[in-house]
Structure 1
């Protein structure tokens, strides 16, 4: 059965505040928990006017404290921005606070521009080319194996579930080599999705934490009771993507605008069609069909749903419709075996 999870960018709404975004995040995570979502993830972004999850570990702690069963974590932490020891301490703390519920997705993109990257690191001597070594160092801290000569406290012996994230073949190759689960960012970078999944599955090497490949892919959902309502809700995200391409830093998530996409020049519409290729917009039937085609096409073990909608109640309704669709898809295609799911990283 294909699991379904939630990526929340913790949007700051136009005219809203970060405080409101955090309150909405906690409420959304509780709603996802009741709807059977496997995980709730937030992502590290910096200098983005419409995203409140820069202090990612702090947001995870906030959400973890308001939920009880859903896994919570990062999708992801951009490891080149940090010393692995610091991440081991942060996620070791989260694992101690919420044992058995913490995920740590790792990416090698900066999550920012060069100016912000320099402010984060104070130096750009650290490179994304060191990402594999940083991942291995981080694993060593959690394993508490003494390889670094330093003990992470908290962190040593912690068991957050490690994931490798990516939007190209690089992450797929690394996840396969390390025997870790893999998540592909097809909700905004769909181009290499099929090839990356093939590379990951073909090259996967079983590890102490995972016996066989476990793949997740991102998918946007804008669901409502009618197709017309859903198409209107989707215009907030469309505006946000156009603004990001225009300004480089984005804007607070704007309210929906009727007819927005049709008002754009052809090149902007083409950009949206590409970026949002892995998307379902519509009422329950249309969303079910879109999700079913995506699951059949990719064969992924999990779908990471993204639903950036201006109105909070409409967003919850969208996720409820999507969850119902995923349950129906799972019931129609039961698992062939009871093989173990992803285990915690040790």
Structure 2
């Protein structure tokens, strides 16, 4: 028994020895007992600074604790709300659940509609310029169509006018074709050989032999059937008041002078000769019957036709 008691006492002492440094007992007293009065003041100042530091740290710790407590409270509140909602859902009946689902669907549909409306508005905003372009293009097409129609109408009018003109021409041609054709010939009177001889410079032939050698330039006359070269010469005399003299009958008439230029005025072999279409006949002008389109030339010769290129007359 005594041995057990001793063991317990020893164990208890060991515990006390181990516990005393942890609790800090007897430390203040030991330091105070071995230190002077000044050291005790320093010890008190250090204690005050330690307390202030502890207060500062404690304030920060308190703030942190409060914030963490708020967060925890909010988390707890959210958890509680979710638990309540879940409990409420659990407690809801089948029909109430359907209503909730329908309301959620309606909300989703409203959201979808809102998004669709936004997209349509955007599309409309983007499409407006294209619509304007379409309108512009439509107006341009209308203008082009109108211009094309105007051009077609102009073409039609031009074609119609051309057709009318052609009809009028045809109508004018038809009576002309129905009318009898007029027979015409041409006649000229010249004295180039007399000019070449210098007769136009002589005073006695002044006004008779023109310097150009032309008494009557190429002139057109109408003829009838049976008209002769003599008939046309007489018509020119009457129309242009040209002097002319001949002897014999009309059928065998011989031209003595034209424009007061007579035979022998230009020499022994001088006189008037005629040709038709470049050919000099060997018979009188009253005998040669004309045809439409014939070309008559009266030329004065000073060498019996040789100066006119007619050698056969000289022979």
Give the TM-score of the pair, scaled to structure 2: 0.17
Per chain length, whose mean CA-contact separation is higher, i.e. which structure has more relative contact order (CA < 8 Å, sep 6+)?
A: 1
Give the TM-score of the pair, scaled to structure 1: 0.16
Q: Which one has a bigger Cα radius of gyration?
A: 2
